[in-house]
Structure 1
Amino acid sequence: MAGLVLIIDDERILADSIAAYLDHHGYGTVVAFSGEDGLVRAESTSPDVAIVDVRLPGMNGIEVLRRLREMLPTVEVLMVTAHASVASAVDAMKLGAFDYVMKPVDLDELRFVVDKARAHQRMRQELTYLKARDRRSGGMSDIVGESPPIRALKEQIARVAALEGTDRGAAPTVLIRGETGTGKEMAARAIHYSSVRASGAFVEINCAAIPTALLEAELFGYERGAYTDAKTAKAGLFEAADGGTLFLDEIGHVELALQLKLLKVIEQKSVRRLGALRTKTVNVRIVTATNRDLEKAIADGEFRDDLYYRINAITLVVPTLRSRGEDIILLARHFLDHYRQQYGFPPKMLSPQAEETLLAYGWPGNVRELAHVIERAALLHAGRVVSVEHLGLNREHRAEPVVVASDGSVQVDFAAGPIVLENVERALIQAALRASGWNRARAAELLGISRETLRYRLEKFDLRPPA
């Protein structure tokens, strides 16, 4: 059925004709011949669309409209009016009527308007659902874990989310750093849905997944005729996120020319569509994320230092999964339950040996890899207990066969198996810190990197001076 339509009209022949016509085209119908009776039927049937005559005996159509909107906020109301009551129809539109139809009623035209009203209602319902779903899936409670690094991250997110300037669009920019798969997008969502902007839009885009020309059009929008295929005007993502948050994932891969335009938007808090003459002020919180070494990109001339300083007002570092200890087990159990609900299989549990294997594994793909491992094990194994062999992980522990010669050259032997690059990097930094007595300037010099890069690495690996 296309939907339920309530018809309120004191002209019985017309009301019955409308009902018969809509019934024939797949709608369900309910007919009432007075405003009072129409409200009673509306309360008992909850129609999707109501067709209401402006001129009714007793309670008039405008009052019926008002009562319907209070009783059923999602119902779409169409007013039927004669030439003499066009002004009343206009008043009805101001009160929230979807549209109005003139008498004598053309049934084909009426069905077209009813179809539009129903489509508009579905769109609003879908939008409401999606916003509610995003709100449920974007809060702080979705960040699973109780380890010290995650507790610290949650505290930082709460503080950042509470920061909102007194000037329009003055919320500080946030840069989220971390390896691939650690959950940078989840941190961005948590900032948005924990802030006063939670009722606004959370708009995200992966800057590395779209060619530069298309990325510019997506971000800034364009006017009709701005380029060959621009048949109609289109608002960009900055405008779509007005009053909310724009999350620019993988910002480290944006080309230099576009970086300059991003910098101007952040500084001026205004955006100009491609092909437009005027700018539009936007109130958007900018959250960015990257797993790229931006300091090295700046040194290589691939990233603007002025943009870096703008997006780096506040930096959050999402910890690696291997640094989160028992959170690995909490997350594994969380994913088991999630996939149980998604696929409808009976509850499953991890064997003690499987949990030991999960804790011992290096997790180069972080939380994303863990989710895939648990999903695969849960789907391919029919039993109630997920054991070690179902995980498909390599449990052997090998020392990294990396040797640094006296001349500074590095010799690497992969014959013994994979090498976790991050373990090597962490060991080098720890050795430099010990050799320098935790003098950061000296340690950075020993490693051949800047103090800013070393500071980021210390945050990334959660390295602290000995007590």
Structure 2
Amino acid sequence: MATLLIVDDERVLTRELSRSLAAEGHEVRTAGTGAEAIEANRLCPPDLVLLDLRLPDRSGIEVMRELRGLDPGLPVVLMTAHGSVRDAVKAMHEGATDYLQKPLDLDEVGLLVQRILTQRRRDRELDYLRDRERHQGVVGRDPRLLKVFAYAERLRDARLSPGKRPTILFIGETGTGKGVLARAVHEVLGGGPFIEFNCPAMPATLVEAELFGHERGSFTDARSSRPGLFEAAEGGTLFLDEIGELTLEIQAKLLKVIDEKRVRRLGSNSERTVDVHIMAATNRDLETAAAQGRFREDLLHRLRVLEIEVPPLRERLEDLRMLARFFSSELGNQYHSHPVRLSVEAEEYLVRYPWPGNVRELRNVIERAVLLEPSEELPARAFAGLMPASREGATSQFTLPEGGIDLQAVERGLLAQALERTGGNRTRAAALLGLTRYAFRYRLEKFQLD
């Protein structure tokens, strides 16, 4: 159930207390001195500490301060003899969770431990929900996205170090919020550094030095040694956006780092161990790229241990409304020092638009409207001309012929045209037809166009 640390130099008491708590399903570790307690905490951080007030090498209060310095939320229960109750009460003012008076009642100890652990679980759940609420203003409440937070919660509860967590690949169209979702997952998992690298934003010749670092003199402009982004993300997350743009050479080196958790700076003969969780994102069809030899298939398998599809905004109408309200309020405060709201007509106008640029396009359109419209409520006319007319009316251009049509033939023809227009790029072809990648793939198989 939980990992407990008992710190007391009375061996008989420690043995009996350990047996009693182990019988309730807890993993129990023991220490006889303050120094041993600090070392035990370093090797395996406990969920709760039962700490004697008087130890051979230092006072229990000093040990508690050091333990709480390492983990401010760690519950510490002090165990004290009758004459030291005043000291125990004083310790509670300094952050002790509770105290027990010797001789101990094992049943009382068990109940207190259970109560504190239950409260700690509730506090963690509350922190998680607050975390989720903070990010949902930008991420959304679509059930497919909320499942991602459930995955993250289970992964967090596994208490793995960043380097041992499974790689996560976010897929979806441009502007859907893959990076925002990645950061939200990162914070649920425990935070730490979050380093984002946009793979196509830098010349290919400099990508290797940026990711892995370099030593002085390793190339012409390397006047000093510099750590790479893997080292900068130590203890946290490295997020590789648009990973499909990396060259095959860098892909091979990235695969080695994922497998071995070690990096070698340019110009160095030694390797450095890194403890980093790797997330990546792409709007490309990496399966097609792998089949065409433009992306390593073995790297694709390593990246998609956990694959998360971020649906386009046109499939998330409730999110669209919520995000539009969120951006209006946020940008109103930014530019006018007060929140701006959307009229009912404006919301309906926004919902009818297909948003090919997704969340990014929505925010940009609302930002322009907030800047141009001085009122506290944005009318529908505030968005007139801000969105391409051809896109705006795209859903209503087709008229059914009097004699009807062969719907399957039309659908097959549209699929073939989309593939031809995008040079076989499935992700872009799916976007042209307003389909998710998986819905597009299903139709390709249905019409044997795969």
Regarding TM over 0.5, the answer is: yes
Deviations 1:8-29 (A, max 9, x none): xxxxxxxxxxxxxxxxxxxxxx
| TM-score under structure 2 length normalisation | 0.60
The alpha-carbon deviation at position 155 of structure 1 amounts to 2.7
Distance 2:398 2:438 in 1: 16
2:203 counterpart (211, 219, 223): 211
**CA distance, structure 2, for counterparts of residue 342 and residue 194 of structure 1:** 27
Tell me the equivalent position of 2:182: 188
Q: 1:231 aligns with which of 223, 232, 236?
A: 223
Question: SS of 2:354's equivalent?
Answer: coil
Match of 1:5 in 2: none
Q: Distance in 2 between matches of 1:301 and 1:205?
A: 24
Q: How does 1:409-428 map to 2 (within 5 A)?
A: 410=417, 422=431, 424=433, 426=435
Report the 3-state secondary structure (helix = DSSP H, G, I; strand = E; otherwise coil) of the residue aligned with 1:172: coil
Q: Shift of the alpha carbon at 1:358?
A: 1.0
Distance 1:316 1:411, change over 3 A: closer
Alpha carbons of 1:427 and 1:185: their partners in 2 closer, same or farther (altered >3 Å)?
closer
Q: SS at 1:426's partner residue?
A: coil
Cα drift, residue 281 of structure 1 = 0.4
C-alpha distance in 2, partners of 1:432/1:171?
Answer: 29
User: Which residue of the partner structure matches residue 398 of structure 1?
Assistant: 396
Structure 1 residues 225, 339: closer, same or farther in 2, change over 3 A? same
| Residues 1:342 and 2:334 aligned together | yes
Which has the larger displacement, 221-230 or 394-403? 394-403
How far off is 1:318 after superposition? 1.1
Equivalent residue for 1:307, pick from 272, 293, 299: 299
2:150 aligns with 155
In structure 2, the residue corresponding to 1:230 is in which secondary structure?
coil
Post-superposition Cα deviations, 1:166-191, rounded to whole Å, max 9, x if no partner, equal 7x821111101111111111111112
Q: For the structure 1 residues 288 and 429, does the alpha-carbon distance in structure 2 shift closer, same or farther, using more than 3 Å as the test?
A: closer
Aligned partners of 1:256 and 1:152: how far apart in 2? 33
Q: What are the within-5 Å matches in structure 2 for residues 273-352 of structure 1? A: 273-352=265-344
Residues 179-224 of structure 1 deviation map (CA, whole Å, 9 limit, x = unaligned): 111111111111211113x1x2111110011111111100010011
> Aligned partners of 1:382, 1:295: CA distance in 2, in Å?
48
**Equivalent residue letter for 1:353:** E
Instruction: State the SS of the aligned residue for 1:176.
Output: strand
Q: Does 1:173 align with 2:167?
A: yes
The one-letter amino acid of 2:280's match is: T
Superposition RMSD in Å: 3.5
Q: In the alignment, which residue of structure 1 is the partner of 2:77?
A: none
Counterpart Cα distance in 1 of 2:437 and 2:135:
34
Structure 1 position 329, deviation (Å): 1.3
Q: 1:246 aligns with which of 238, 250, 263?
A: 238
Check the 8 A contact 2:331/2:339 in 1, yes or no: no
Q: Equivalents in 1 of 2:415, 2:331: separation in Å?
A: 49
Aligned-partner Cα distance in 1 for 2:342–2:414: 49
Given that residues 351 and 388 in structure 1 are in contact (C-alpha distance below 8 angstroms), is that contact kept between their aligned partners in structure 2?
Answer: yes
Cα distance change of structure 1 residues 141 and 448 upon mapping to structure 2, 3 Å threshold: same
Structure 2: distance between partners of 1:366 and 1:407: 22
Deviations 1:222-259 (A, max 9, x none): 01111111111000000111111100101001010110
Identity %: 42
Alpha-carbon distance, 1:138 to partner:
11
Paired letter, 1:158: E
Partner amino acid, structure 1, of 2:305: A
- Secondary structure of the structure 2 residue equivalent to 1:319: coil
Give CA deviations for 1:44-102 in whole Å, capped at 9, x if unaligned: xxxxxxxxxxxxxxxxxxxxxxxxxxxxxxxxxxxxxxxxxxxxxxxxxxxxxxxxxxx
- Distance change (3 Å), C-alpha of 1:345 and 1:202: same
State the one-letter code of the partner of 1:186. V
- Measure the CA separation in 2 of the matches of 1:164 and 1:428: 33
For the 8 Å contact 1:163–1:172, the answer to whether it is kept is no
Structure 2: give runs of 5+ residues left out of the alignment: 1-129, 400-408, 422-427
Alignment size in residue pairs:
301
- Cα deviation, residue 359, structure 1: 1.0
Question: Equivalents in 2 of 1:178, 1:356: separation in Å?
Answer: 25
Residue 349 of structure 1 and its aligned partner are, at CA, apart by: 2.0
User: Does 2:230 correspond to 1:221?
Assistant: no
- Bigger helix share: 2
**Counterpart of 2:354?**
362
- The residue aligned with 2:34 is none
Seen in structure 2, the aligned counterparts of structure 1 residues 161 and 292 have a Cα distance that, compared at 3 Å, is: farther
1:49-198 equivalence runs, <5 A: 140-165=135-160, 169-196=163-190, 198=191
Q: State the distance in 2 between where 1:325 and 1:156 align.
A: 24
Q: Which whole-Å CA distance do the structure 1 matches of 2:154 and 2:446 have between them?
A: 34
Distance 1:411 1:187 in 2: 29
Tell me the CA shift for residue 400 of structure 1: 5.9
- One-letter code aligned to 1:274: L
Q: What is the CA distance between 1:332 and its match in structure 2?
A: 0.8
| 2:251 corresponds to | 259
Asked whether the equivalents of residues 378 and 386 of structure 1 are also in contact (C-alpha less than 8 Å), the reply is yes
